[in-house]
Structure 1
Amino acid sequence: MPKNVRKRTSLVRLRTLGSIENQGGKIFFKIIKCTDIGLSVGPIFFVLLIKKTARIMSMIEMYLKELEQESLTTRKMLSIVPNDKYDWQPHPKSMTIRSLATHIAELPTWITLALTTDELDFASAPYNPVMINNTNELMDLFEKSLVDGRTHLVAENEEKLSEPWTLRSGDEIFMKQTKAETVHHSLCQIIHHRAQLGVFLRLLDIPIPGSYGPSADEMGL
């Protein structure tokens, strides 16, 4: 570095006048006063943007957080299924409420399937849903499934998320994706079928809870 540059640098005085920090505490701005003695000019003000180090949430932690959040609404929706409507269906091609509600209650166990197996083959392991006859049994199934899925959303399984997972029936492949995508798909399926159940209950004129804000029933509309 040339002498004049070294000398000029040594004559710069910096003083922090203040700082502004955002609510998350991840980024803040410092207002700096810079005075160059050698050039005898007035003070120069500038803003220095500094990024603070923050720990990034792991995928497992994000999935666990989402599972816990969605379970609150799912629990409310399942708990209002009437005991005398389990065989009801809105259309001959639609599932019955029993089939739909049971599927929703079992879906957290697909997180376990994703993280403890490499595939599910219906040809060798046919789907045999639990027979649910009332809402108490439905809620028990959901809570057990929730515990089962939650148990496997632990830090040790983070490295498994990039591994492949397959859904098939013999030679017919329905789905081939990573275990991370399978966990995400399971969470999406809970949300999707829960909304479907909400439509079923609405058709039965049963007030339903809101999912991401108040429902029309909760607003008194």
Structure 2
Amino acid sequence: MEIIKMFLKEFDEEAQTVRKMLERVPNDKYDWQPHPKSMTIRRLATHIAELPAWVTMALTTDGLDFANNPYEPVVINNNTELLAYFEKNFADGRAQLAATSEEVLEQKWVLRNGDAVYMTNTKAEVVRVSISQIIHHRAQLGVFLRLLNIPIPGSYGPSADEVEFELQEQE
């Protein structure tokens, strides 16, 4: 399987799980955070929803310099906005990925803050990191939701909440 088809398959599969997780975020808990060093649910969920845009950025630029492009997250206030933001970023990232070539994926991409270089990778590696970051932060959100006693959807099979529900249905 060529790398672009592999990335598209994984991107699509992970998006299904992201949607299920993001829709569980309670509108009245956007400012909740489990610890002072943790992000709020708003910040974490927004970050998850914006990460597919990193695929677009990786494929259409040679890098990101925070010194010239300070990070300014979009303010999301409810699930409707959150899911729409995710869908917009996902659709754009997926379209860029589907239209790219192996040659583009081999090009270098640099993340920096002025003279400080954080990473230099191929664009393919940045796509991989973007998908990994979606998975990583989605798992963090699952912990946040669990702490709020909100049932968690399964990611790669049923969650404990889904198994418990199935067992109750069988009784």
State whether structure 2 residue 74 is matched by structure 1 residue 130.
Answer: yes
State whether structure 2 residue 93 is matched by structure 1 residue 149.
Answer: yes
Q: Tell me the equivalent position of 2:21.
A: 77
User: Relative contact order, CA 8 A, sep 6+: which one is greater?
Assistant: 2
Query: 1: CA distance between counterparts of 2:95 and 2:64?
Result: 20
Which is helix-richer, 1 or 2?
Answer: 2
Query: 1: CA distance between counterparts of 2:90 and 2:36?
Result: 31
Which is strand-richer, 1 or 2?
Answer: 1
Structure 1 residue 157: deviation in Å? 2.5
Q: Tell me the equivalent position of 1:199.
A: 143
- Aligned to 1:62, the other structure's residue is in SS state helix
- Which structure 2 segments of 5+ residues have no match? 166-171
- Which structure 1 segments of 5+ residues have no match? 1-56
Structure 1 residue 144: deviation in Å? 0.3
Deviations 1:63-93 (A, max 9, x none): 1110000000000000010000000000000
Correspondence list, 1:80-95, <5 A: 80-95=24-39
CA RMSD of aligned residues (A): 1.0
Q: Tell me the equivalent position of 1:212.
A: 156
Query: 1: CA distance between counterparts of 2:85 and 2:100?
Result: 26
Correspondence list, 1:32-181, <5 A: 57-181=1-125
**Aligned letter for 1:210?**
G
Contact 2:59–2:100 (Cα < 8 Å) also in 1 = no
Query: 1: CA distance between counterparts of 2:12 and 2:84?
Result: 17
**Aligned letter for 2:143?**
V
Structure 1 length normalisation: TM-score?
0.73
> How many residues end up aligned between the 2 structures?
165
**Runs of 4+ residues deviating >4 angstroms:** none
Contact 2:44–2:141 (Cα < 8 Å) also in 1 = yes
Query: 1: CA distance between counterparts of 2:124 and 2:49?
Result: 21
**Aligned letter for 2:138?**
R
Structure 1 residue 174: deviation in Å? 1.1
Pick the structure with greater CA Rg: 1
Query: 2: CA distance between counterparts of 1:155 and 1:102?
Result: 26
**Aligned letter for 1:191?**
I
**Identity across matched positions, percent:** 67
Contact 1:88–1:97 (Cα < 8 Å) also in 2 = yes
Structure 2 length normalisation: TM-score?
0.94
Contact 2:53–2:92 (Cα < 8 Å) also in 1 = yes
State whether structure 2 residue 129 is matched by structure 1 residue 185.
Answer: yes
**Aligned letter for 2:53?**
T
**Aligned letter for 2:96?**
H
